[in-house]
Amino acid sequence: MKKILEIKNLVKSFKDKEIHKDISFDLKAGETIGLLGPSGTGKSVLLRSIIGLEEIDQGEIYFHGKRIDLLTEEELYPIRTKISYAFQNGALFDSDTVFENVAYPLFEHTKLSEKEIELKVVESLKIVNLENSLELMPSDLSGGMQKRVGLARAMVLDPEILLYDEPTAGLDPSNIETVVEVIRKFKAKGISGIFVTHDIPTAKKICDRILILKSGKIAFNGSVEEFENSTDTYVQTFLSGQ
Amino acid sequence: MTFNSIKNDMKVIGEIIILFKDTVRCLFSRPFYLGRLWEQIVHLGIESLSITIVIGVVTGLVMTLQFGYGLEKFGGTLYVPAIVSLSIMRELAPIFTSLLIAGRIGSGISAEIGAMNVTQQIDAIRALGTNPLRVLVVPRLVASMISLPLLATLSAFMGILGGLVIAYVEFNIPAGFYLNKVLSTITISDVFGAMFKCAFFGIIISILACYRGFKTREGTRGVGSSAKWVVVRASIVILISDFFLSKLLILMFD
Ligand SMILES: Nc1ncnc2c1ncn2[C@@H]1O[C@H](COP(=O)(O)OP(=O)(O)OP(=O)(O)O)[C@@H](O)[C@H]1O
Ligand SMILES: [Mg+2]
């Protein structure tokens, strides 16, 4: 399969705090990677670095074989409509309604009419079971609902890659099932994804490959089967912790 | 003032200039957000109308009172209309309006953008492939450049009218004489000069406020201290630059 995203020797630190020492992996077209690692190992920072929200110190990032880590902020804008990031906390615009939040990328990047935008927004919200919350403000929603609106907003432009930052954390079982279904639908459409999670059973259900971060490096990179059968003690702690 | 704090201040000034430069670049290229601009003009200009009028009238009343009694001692009551209108048009209306807007709007902008920043909404704007400068800064900058001169002119107009009332009631200066004097004193260059100064102050207020909003880090407390920072800094810069701008305008037109 073709590589859609490649990360090579990525190094990232904040001030004198080293987060990533040497990260390399690639994402193939249509593949979904589960990214695991203890809290604070830099999973969110890694996703943010991929789309250039964080500047990396060293290393290279390629999208469709084209280097993107050296692009300017302006040059990154079109890339970010193709690699979409669903924030860990939703990061909704809290002065705008749910509808306005999900419609925002459509108004910005498409020439659709208001009617068409409305249809698309409702369609996206339907997928995350929130089609009845159009006129609510983010502050009227629970944390889990905000997250799902964030997911709807991230997918409304039909990106090629979706970076999901713990989309199932804090959700009840039926909504976890909803999100799993969403990701399955994307996979069926051939959309690639990186799925950050602490939820091992869900990761095993929907991911093709598992990556585990440990103190700034990739401690494990293999298929779900290899993950389950691994004898590595570090990997075992994840398997037993589920 | 240590060497480090001066170095730090220089860095801040440099960053503010870069922010301004980048914003101006956005100003001259697509996309434009006319809806957001209108929203800001309403918020910044129209919602400040009533308070501007009150300040203008009160300034006119009190200035006429003070100059009236002051000049009466020397038999100079007849000079009241000229002095009052000139000082209001050139200085008091622009400065009072700008300081008021720095307090009312500057703190609001920095708190709003600061809160968006600490809740990752600015990151969300970027992640959705859009430019926070275009979406947030340009509308606020343009709205304050348009609103502030108009508000100040309105305030001056109301002040001169307020002066007319006191001049008549307290000093028996006829309204016709007052207006004649005002019209022969104030020139079009006084009005445009005042508007020019206010447009400049509008830039100062909005850019400082946006800059500080983007720099806001440490949560809710950071949002509050950013608002304070903007009001204090913007007021000082307005007062200092007013001196130099006034000097410049006098050199050009007087
Ligand atoms: N802007 C920043 N400045 C300084 N340090 C930061 C910044 N952003 C993140 N960090 C640090 O980077 C480290 C990794 O953070 P990150 O949010 O990526 O962790 P994570 O793996 O996503 O954790 P979690 O599972 O809890 O979400 C943390 O120690 C955090 O303190
Ligand atoms: Mg995280």
The domains of chain B are located at 32-253
Give residue A241's pLDDT: 65
Question: What total of structural domains would you count in chain A?
Answer: 1
Nearest residue in B to A78, CA atom: B129
Kindly report the protein residue whose alpha carbon is nearest to atom 2 of ligand 1.
A14
d(C-alpha A221, C-alpha A239), whole Å: 14
DSSP code string of A6-69: EEEEEEEEETTEEEEEEEEEEEETT-EEEEE--TTSSHHHHHHHHTTSS--SEEEEEETTEE-T
Give residue B1's pLDDT: 62
Out of A51, A74, A109, the one facing B127 most closely (by C-beta) is: A51
* Interchain proximity B130–A108, CB inside 8 Å: yes
Ligand 1 center from residue A39 Cα (angstroms): 8
Give residue B32's pLDDT: 79
Ligand 1 center from residue A198 Cα (angstroms): 15
Contacts of A93 in chain B (CB under 8 A): 116, 121, 124
For chain B, say whether A94 makes contact (Cβ under 8 Å). yes
Q: What average pLDDT does range B156-166 have in this prediction?
A: 94
Sign of CA dihedral A53, A54, A55, A56: negative
The CATH number of the domain holding residue A53 is: 3.40.50.300
For chain B, say whether A214 makes contact (Cβ under 8 Å). no
Give residue B72's pLDDT: 87
For residue B67, name the pLDDT band (cuts at 50, 70, 90). Answer: very high
As a dihedral over the C-alpha atoms of residue A89, residue B117, residue A105, residue B140, rounded to 10 degrees, the angle is 160
Ligand 1 center from residue A181 Cα (angstroms): 28
Give residue B6's pLDDT: 86
Kindly report the protein residue whose alpha carbon is nearest to atom 26 of ligand 1.
A39
Give residue A188's pLDDT: 87
For chain A, say whether B129 makes contact (Cβ under 8 Å). yes
DSSP code string of B55-115: HHHHHHHHHHHHHHHHHHTTT-GGGHHHHHHHHIIIIIHHHHHHHHHIIIIIHHHHHHHHH
Give CA separation, A231 vs A213, A214, A241, B106, in Å: 17, 16, 15, 60
- Which pTM was predicted? 0.89
Q: In the predicted model, is pLDDT for residue B254 greater than 80?
A: no
Give residue A172's pLDDT: 86
CB B197 within 8 A of CB B90: no
Predicted confidence pLDDT, tens digits, chain A (242 residues): 789 999 999 999 998 899 999 999 999 999 999 999 999 999 999 999 999 999 999 999 999 999 999 999 999 999 999 999 999 888 999 999 999 999 999 999 999 999 999 999 999 999 888 989 899 999 999 888 899 999 999 999 999 999 999 988 888 888 888 889 888 888 888 899 999 999 888 888 899 999 999 988 998 898 988 888 888 888 888 777 65
Ligand 1 atom closest to the CA of A17, numbered from 1 = 5
Nearest residue in A to B116, CA atom: A93
CB A98 within 8 A of CB A120: no
Q: What average pLDDT does range B101-115 have in this prediction?
A: 92
For residues B29 and A194, the model is more confident at A194
For residue B41, name the pLDDT band (cuts at 50, 70, 90). Answer: very high
Q: Which two tokens stand for residue A32?
A: 């979904």
Domain with A114 in it: 3-240
Q: In the predicted model, is pLDDT for residue B221 greater than 90?
A: no
Count Cβ neighbours within 10 Å for each residue of B110-139 and write b for 16 or more, e otherwise: bbbbbbbbbbbbbbbbbbbbbbbbbbbbbb
